[in-house]
Chain A
Amino acid sequence: GQQLNQSPQSMFIQEGEDVSMNCTSSSIFNTWLWYKQEPGEGPVLLIALYKAGELTSNGRLTAQFGITRKDSFLNISASIPSDVGIYFCAGRNAGNMLTFGGGTRLMVKP
């Protein structure tokens, strides 16, 4: 089946630093979604990408849909303590099912 490789698995950074994480796949996706999950909560949608090459921002977050349709990245600029959580990428294929990456656990040191 399809697999999404998400990296890094975890990051421990200083407040104010920029963060970058990415997902790659051996298969093509039609949609890329990025979610954030905090302890005790469900995943919350951050950014949705629908076209190859699309670059979308949401505040300090920027995500891009790779031109090959097999990858996506998420950048967080000037991190703050409330950015702490687990970030998941998810890709949707023509069959309309979401496949999730393994998650990136972000820890921010004040």
Chain B
Amino acid sequence: SAVISQKPSRDICQRGTSLTIQCQVDSQVTMMFWYRQQPGQSLTLIATANQGSEATYESGFVIDKFPISRPNLTFSTLTVSNMSPEDSSIYLCSARSETQYFGPGTRLLVL
């Protein structure tokens, strides 16, 4: 299994600012992902974080709004840029080794 940590666990931000969320996995994994989860809702995939190349974004998500880095096989960051209240959500990092695991999430509130 993979143990995943995220920082920060929660934050309150002003509109127009940006927040970078960090994700650390305790072992090397082949794939890392970023999801968004609105309160009481299911999970929506934002993008696949590719090591050494640009992330692969799902429909409705763009690099300018959600830039992603993955410098190695255990670490990734997601930035939520130029935030608005609609970006208030839970952001979850996920990693796949033999199966897929999730971090504890980052709870973001944009005022």
Contact = CB atoms under 8 A, between A and B. Distances in A.
Max count, chain A CB within 10 A of own CB: residue among B41, B99, B100, B102 = B100
A98 B41 CA distance: 16
A90 B100 CA distance: 10
| B interface majority secondary structure | strand
Contact of A97 (B45, B103, B107): B45
B99 A35 contact: no
Interface string A58-77: 00000000000000000000
B99 A45 contact: yes
| A interface majority secondary structure | strand
Contacts of A42: 4, 92, 102-105
A44 B102 contact: yes
Interface of B: 1, 4, 31, 41-43, 45, 92, 99-105, 107
